[in-house]
């Protein structure tokens, strides 16, 4: 098979070399953006009179046919073409001849691939941001539906304080909001155009980069031709944002696994989203959650791979950079499917209210409110903590809940305690008493639900 650099080489490439260096098996993902960028480039070449209007029409016609054959699954990808850029150019040449041979004027695969990858990444950032928003909306709807459910909040996996389950769900809405912000921020630097930097030095031909930039919807040019073709920091940024997203999703997964496990038993996994065991009939496994947690490793791996590829690369384009695609494509595809699943799964979360109430009974979740009760009576917090601690110890030793300790005994520990103490010794009611901004009780959670409803509706 004749190569595009045929003029210079006397002998063909080793067949193993062809196999080793090809990227067409995966960079076909860039086919559509490659065509879009080529059409913008051709339009500009015509505008600055580097190609004729007849050439431009021929290129447009050929590209239209190629795009159709790609969409119809009929395009033949040949390993001998090495990558998608050469595959499309060769096919265009077969179809329209000389006009196709003019298309690569003032262009190199170096600026071409960087441009395609940015266009592709920009599209995927928009897609993924929308999918994150869907998960946020699902969390918000679930938090709204479950807004009166009180569950234990944990620190160190020990029951700590009673909270509204909605507060727990809204915590993830907030994390995902930051993830969307990070995607939007990465997008600003993704959306710069390398095209026109050519191999790395630019060109002596009178091209109009601004025109192509506008045509392709870029916010501006990559200003330095050498930086433009050689850096992939925009991929690192995108993968970093995805990594943080998945750190959040994996934490969410872990929470759901704990909630649905036999020890907590706070939710029962929906049939559609769990799997059975081939041997233990009683099982209902949280595979969606475990796989989300597991796929986080893959995303982190992509980020590490990309960082390692870039490290120490001399200026400018080096073939190492071809290794940017697999991690990027894989991470984006993984994120897309995971987010689609989560948006559907989240609304199936329904808390078992009876079980939630029973988890509040043991564990002295009202000990902190008791201390705060004493603070309200004028006791310094440290002393109040001690009184509450003493009562917890007494209750523990005697197999009692705090509200079951006789008032007389309590007054013996602190005379500040009165009959009204029993109002706060009921974990089920505690969240009604939280008042600080952002707290986990009825007042603040209800405000937060309204706030998020407005915010997410605007997006």
Catalogue the active-site residues. Answer: 156, 277
- Is there a contact between 58 and 66 (Cβ–Cβ < 8 Å)? no
Q: How many residues bind ligand ARG (CB under 6 A)?
A: 10
13: left (phi over 0), alpha (psi -120 to 50) or beta: beta
One symbol per residue from 90 to 109: x for binding ligand ARG (CB under 6 A), - otherwise; what is it?
-------------------x
> What is the distance between the alpha carbons of residues 123 and 157, in angstroms, rounded to a whole number?
40
b/e map 210-238, b = 16+ CB within 10 Å: ebbbebbebeebbeebbbbbbbbebbbbb
- Is there a contact between 151 and 168 (Cβ–Cβ < 8 Å)? yes
Q: How far is the CB of 232 from ligand ARG (least distance, A)?
A: 10
- E strand residue ranges, 165-317: 192-193, 220-221
Q: How far is the CB of 111 from ligand ARG (least distance, A)?
A: 9
- Is there a contact between 108 and 195 (Cβ–Cβ < 8 Å)? no
Is residue 319 near ligand ARG by the rule CB under 6 A? yes
Q: How far is the CB of 239 from ligand ARG (least distance, A)?
A: 17
**196 φ/ψ angles, rounded to the nearest 5 degrees:** 100, -10
- Residue 16 vs 457, nearer CB to ligand ARG: 16
One symbol per residue from 10 to 39: x for binding ligand ARG (CB under 6 A), - otherwise; what is it?
-------------x---x------------
- Residue 329 vs 373, nearer CB to ligand ARG: 329
- Residue 110 vs 292, nearer CB to ligand ARG: 110
- Residue 259 vs 317, nearer CB to ligand ARG: 317
DSSP letters, 188-219, are: HHHSEE-TT-TTTT--SS---HHHHHHHTT-S
Which of the ranges 91-99, 237-245, 314-322, 423-431 carries the binding residues for ligand ARG, by CB under 6 A? 314-322
- Residue 110 vs 225, nearer CB to ligand ARG: 110
- Residue 29 vs 444, nearer CB to ligand ARG: 29
**Which residue of 321, 342, 359, 370 would you call a contact of ligand ARG, by CB under 6 A?**
321
Q: How far is the CB of 78 from ligand ARG (least distance, A)?
A: 14
Q: Cα separations (Å) of 329 from 27, 79, 247, 293?
A: 9, 19, 19, 19
Is residue 113 near ligand ARG by the rule CB under 6 A? yes
Which of 441, 452, 292, 295 shows the shortest CA–CA distance to 368? 441
Is residue 316 near ligand ARG by the rule CB under 6 A? no
Q: How far is the CB of 75 from ligand ARG (least distance, A)?
A: 17
> What is the distance between the alpha carbons of residues 346 and 97, in angstroms, rounded to a whole number?
54
- Residue 252 vs 317, nearer CB to ligand ARG: 317
**Which residue of 166, 292, 322, 430 would you call a contact of ligand ARG, by CB under 6 A?**
322
> What is the distance between the alpha carbons of residues 178 and 243, in angstroms, rounded to a whole number?
12
- The SS3 of residue 160 is strand
**285 φ/ψ angles, rounded to the nearest 5 degrees:** -90, 140
Residue 57, number of CB atoms within 10 A of its CB: 14
Is residue 335 near ligand ARG by the rule CB under 6 A? no
Is residue 8 near ligand ARG by the rule CB under 6 A? no
Which of the ranges 11-19, 175-183, 316-324, 360-368 carries the binding residues for ligand ARG, by CB under 6 A? 316-324
> What is the distance between the alpha carbons of residues 376 and 433, in angstroms, rounded to a whole number?
13
Q: How far is the CB of 89 from ligand ARG (least distance, A)?
A: 12
Is residue 83 near ligand ARG by the rule CB under 6 A? yes
One symbol per residue from 359 to 378: x for binding ligand ARG (CB under 6 A), - otherwise; what is it?
--------------------
Binding site residues, ligand ARG, CB under 6 A: 23, 27, 83, 109-110, 113, 317, 319, 321-322
């Amino acid at each position: 098979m004749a190569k595009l650099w045929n003029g210079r080489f006397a002998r063909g490439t080793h067949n193993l070399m062809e196999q080793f260096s090809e990227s067409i098996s995966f960079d076909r993902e860039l086919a559509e953006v490659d065509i879009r960028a080529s059409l913008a480039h051709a339009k500009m070449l015509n505008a600055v009179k580097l190609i004729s209007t007849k050439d431009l029409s021929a290129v447009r016609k050929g590209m239209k046919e190629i795009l159709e054959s790609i969409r119809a699954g009929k395009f033949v990808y040949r390993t001998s073409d090495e990558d998608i850029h050469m595959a499309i150019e060769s096919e265009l040449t077969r179809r329209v001849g000389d006009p196709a041979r003019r298309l690569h004027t003032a262009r190199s695969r170096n600026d071409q691939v960087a441009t395609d990858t940015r266009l592709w990444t920009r599209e995927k950032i928009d897609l993924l941001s929308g999918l994150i928003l869907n998960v946020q909306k699902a969390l918000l709807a679930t938090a709204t539906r479950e807004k009166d459910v009180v569950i234990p909040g944990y620190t160190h996996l020990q029951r700590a304080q009673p909270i509204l389950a909605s507060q727990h769900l809204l915590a993830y809405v907030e994390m995902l909001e930051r993830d969307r912000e990070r995607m939007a921020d990465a997008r600003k630097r993704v959306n710069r155009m390398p095209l026109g930097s050519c191999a790395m030095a630019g060109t002596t031909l009178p091209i109009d980069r601004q025109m192509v930039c506008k045509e392709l919807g870029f916010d501006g040019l990559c200003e330095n031709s050498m930086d433009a073709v050689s850096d992939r920091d925009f991929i690192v940024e995108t993968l970093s944002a995805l990594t943080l997203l998945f750190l959040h999703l994996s934490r969410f997964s872990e929470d759901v696994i704990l909630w649905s496990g036999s020890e907590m038993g706070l939710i029962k996994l929906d049939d559609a989203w769990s799997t059975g065991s081939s041997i233990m009939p009683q099982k209902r496994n949280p595979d969606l959650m475990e796989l989300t947690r597991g796929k986080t490793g893959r995303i982190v791996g992509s980020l590490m791979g990309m960082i390692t590829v870039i490290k120490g690369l001399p200026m400018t384009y080096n073939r190492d950079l071809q290794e940017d695609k697999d991690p990027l494509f894989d991470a984006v595809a993984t994120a897309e499917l995971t987010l689609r699943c989560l948006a559907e799964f989240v609304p199936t979360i329904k808390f078992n209210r009876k079980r939630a109430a029973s988890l509040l009974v043991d564990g002295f979740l009202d000990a902190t409110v008791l201390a705060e009760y004493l603070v309200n009576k004028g006791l310094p917090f440290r002393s109040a903590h001690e009184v509450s601690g003493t009562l917890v110890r007494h209750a523990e030793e005697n197999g009692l809940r705090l509200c079951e300790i006789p008032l007389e005994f309590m007054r013996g520990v602190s005379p500040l305690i009165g009959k009204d103490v029993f109002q706060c010794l009921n974990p089920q009611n505690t969240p009604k008493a939280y008042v600080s901004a952002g707290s986990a009780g009825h007042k603040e959670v209800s405000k937060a639900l309204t706030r998020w409803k407005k915010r997410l509706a605007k997006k």
